[in-house]
Chains A and B, each alone.
Chain A
Amino acid sequence: MTMVYDEALDKFEPVLGLETHVELGTKSKMFCGCKTTFGAPPNTQVCPTCLALPGALPVANEAAIESTIRIGLALNCSIAEWCRFARKNYFYPDMPKNYQISQYDEPLCFDGYIDVEVGGETVRIGIERVHLEEDTGKSTHVGGATGRIHGADYSIVDYNRAGIPLVEIVTKPIPGTDRLAPEVAKAYVTELREIMRSLGVSDVRMEEGSLRCDVNVSLMPRGSSEWGTRTETKNVNSLRSVERAVRSEIERQAGILAEGGKIVQETRHFHEDTGTTTSGRSKEEAQDYRYFPEPDLVPIAPDPAWVAELKAALPELPSVKRKRLQAEWGLSDLDMQAMHNADAIDLVEATVAAGAPPADARKWWMGELARRANESGVPLSDLPITPEQIARVTELVASGALNDKLAREVLEGVLAGEGTPDEVVERRGLQIVSDEGELLAIIDQVLADNADAAEKVRAGKIAAAGALVGGVMRASKGKADAARARQLILEKLGVEG
């Protein structure tokens, strides 16, 4: 029986650990010159080296080494002065060599940290190591009822992904997160993703597998200092799933422990549909990898001067940038957090850079556009509209050519592929009615049609003017300047606004 989350946390304290894999965005693979394009037809990006044909030898991709060192530096790690690749031997067809080139006890980067913000608190997450390895091929399991590996009749393998540089980032154990454990895990992966993005080393798309996360969870009874047995949950492929996987594993383990049971150290699989985990292969057997130094590759000894150069050239990191922008834009912690959660900060920044006032840029991205992204179930950044276009819309509003309602229609047109904001204004005829004569004619008509309301306003009930302004807006199909219309109505009725 699983235990409900709050009860589980009353009895137990979680200890987390996160292993994150990041596929680097290099042009070619880690040890050969094959392309790394996602979604290419099967086995079109393979060569004798990544297929392990006899006589082929690997040579390390310098850009991948550089990216890994930059990641290490951004995560406040020390960089190894000397380290080697290692062979991780295992019998599984996702690597044609029967081993994966990885790093074992000599990672390229080690002993760092990052700070993440959760619920207004800063949590420091220790980084154990950052190492470089090669990604594996992609297996599809055929036959059986479930399409999963168990019960399959056979498997078919595409080696396009085999050999793409893959960076593994491992945290130190994270105790003390208490009830916030799921949020801390999510905040950590989010921060990591943003750091990767700011470094430009990976496109970090979880849905395409270029950012993947394994979640380790163990529980100890409250008051105990001895950590429990941990499980490792794989297949956690979205930020939301990171949070759900931690929560679900806490509930499951608490249920077992409360009934006097023991946690089995094992790999578990997360299922998006149910939000729960199921048992995978047992860990002890899988761990006999017989690592040894890779004889086909010479050691790496990064020149300290090069490392210093890379460090000096690191971009402004996301957490620093957020603090700077928050001060520049004069936003509260809460507003900034909301933008961060919506992945809107970079978009707003780019919109401001294109000339929009920060408040307007934020209003559109966090309001109308967030709503539309949410409706279509896509990230904000995938909406077919650019920060420059939003900036143009705010400019048109500021100049009085558009009001907010018309601006929303312009955005709708741009999103529908009708062209630039100016083209949409032109094609849909969305210019505001700025011709005073035309506006006055509409007002006269509205006043005539709404004599009751007009009389109320005349008698001093200013609030009734709202209905008249509404009438003008309807009559002008939203193209009137509402503030000006209100002013003119009040003037005509002889009252002070």
Chain B
Amino acid sequence: MSAITRDEVAHLARLSRLALTDDELDHYATQLDAIIEAVAKVREVAAEDVPPSSHALPLTNVFRADEVRQSLTPEQALSGAPAVEDDRFQVPRILGEEA
């Protein structure tokens, strides 16, 4: 039995703007389940004296000085853009017509 439901996959897909078929929803639910199960194995070795951590290295306060460095030219910056208008990245319509 899946811990991840089809609805949850559908919700994630919607947040990521991915169009998934019903079959794909089931397929990814099973896959995500397997991933979560694998990650959950960490619990088996987690001990009381090991605090949860988000970073692999015991570092804090890695900063850079407030100094300006060379930026890209607009040509370089826009060279990978599928579409350009007025030196700006052109993107598809953001919201639908709902309002």
Contact = CB atoms under 8 A, between A and B. Distances in A.
Given A51-B77, A298-B60, A34 B71 contact: yes
Contact of A91 (B16, B67, B68): B16
B49 interface: no
A300 B91 contact: no
Contacts of A33: 64, 67-71
B66 A298 contact: no
A28 B15 CA distance: 32
Contacts of A35: 68, 71
A61 B71 contact: no
B21 interface: no
B88 A295 contact: no
A42 B87 contact: yes
B43 interface: no
Contacts of A89: 15
Contacts of A159: 77, 89
B52 to A, nearest CB: 10
A37 to B, nearest CB: 10
A406 B73 CA distance: 54
Contacts of A48: 72
Contacts of B55: 293, 295, 298-299
Contacts of B71: 33-35, 44-47
A26 B66 CA distance: 7
A247 interface: no
A265 interface: no
Contacts of B66: 26-28, 61-64
Interface in A462-484: none
Contacts of B63: 59-62, 65
Q: In the complex, which range does the number of interface residues on chain B fall in?
A: 35 or more
Contacts of B99: 150, 279-281
Contacts, number: 143
A105 to B, nearest CB: 12
Contacts of B80: 53
A159 B80 CA distance: 14
Nearest to B64: A59
Interface residues of A, number: 62
B68 A149 contact: no
A185 B98 CA distance: 32
A148 to B, nearest CB: 9
Interface string A137-157: 001111000000111111111
Interface in B61-99: 61-74, 77-78, 80, 85-95, 97-99
Interface in A36-62: 41-48, 51, 53, 59-62
Nearest to B92: A154
Contacts of B95: 149-150, 281
Contacts of A65: 63
A227 interface: no
A366 to B, nearest CB: 38
A93 interface: yes
Interface string A290-301: 101101011111
A91 B17 contact: yes
A496 interface: no
Sorted from nearest, which 5 A-B pairs have the closest CB atoms? A33-B69, A63-B66, A62-B63, A156-B88, A293-B54
Interface of B: 11, 15-17, 54-55, 57, 59-74, 77-78, 80, 85-95, 97-99
6 contacts: A35-B71, A59-B62, A61-B63, A63-B66, A152-B94, A156-B86
